[in-house]
Amino acid sequence: ATGTASPVEPARFVLGPGVTVSGTLVAPRDAPADESDPVRFAGLVVQARPDGALAGEAPPFAARADLTGAFVLEGLAPGTYRIEVRVSGYEHVVRRAIPAPVRDVRLVMRALASIRGRVTDLAGAPAPSAEVRLAGSGVWPARAYPVQPDGSFAIEDIPGGVYELRAHDGSRVAEPIAPLVLRPGASRDVQLFVGPGLALRGSVVDAASGRALEGAEVLAAEDALSTDVRAQRTDTNGAFTFTGLLRRPHQLSARARG
């Protein structure tokens, strides 16, 4: 075969002066002395991506913090950037619209907290079939966690904040622990005791005809700023039953198609 090769134009890259973003990884102001040492942050990776619609597609600029927690991101084009640190054991840190060049950016590194505990009945026997639920300022909506055969449970990687901790075991229920205040990096030990809960029964009917409404969604929540909202659908007789409720006022609401 014969042919004529087409010349390939060489690629040209025009380089302009780059700028830097520098700063420091720091502990919260109220952190204990043993958690404020900047050596804890040595080696953590700080990333920068240009702000904008295509920011997630651009490869990041990256730098590691030194023994003082300081970092320098070099070779950036002038503009605004999203700076972030994502590392196990700490809350995800994001700062947006950071102008480049800039100095003395402070990124506060808040350690994640944990809860360890045990669920038992009122006599102290383990409740392995129980479910623990946590909700609050850093966890929403509520998340459920299993209990081990000995009744123990562990919840890791919780942002510092104010929470409510509950436990249910079928028709049994524990008095919630609230407010449960978790300082960043703290580890709390708790115990929940499940005992007999109350039942709430009722029905949903058509307002005009009184006909039972099957499949209506019913919500039950404690008559306060509760994190524990139950939901179920009515049966063929329009009936519903909630079990494992605490002895306190509840609010009901129902919704049906049409």
Q: Copy the structure tokens of residue 244.
A: 């494992």
pTM of the model: 0.76
Question: What pLDDT is stored for residue 17 in this prediction?
Answer: 85
Residues of the chain with pLDDT under 50: none
Question: What pLDDT is stored for residue 51 in this prediction?
Answer: 87
Question: What pLDDT is stored for residue 35 in this prediction?
Answer: 74
Question: What pLDDT is stored for residue 31 in this prediction?
Answer: 80
Question: What pLDDT is stored for residue 8 in this prediction?
Answer: 83
Q: Which whole-number Å values give the CA distances from 25 to 84, 112, 184, in the listed order?
A: 11, 16, 15
Question: What pLDDT is stored for residue 216 in this prediction?
Answer: 98
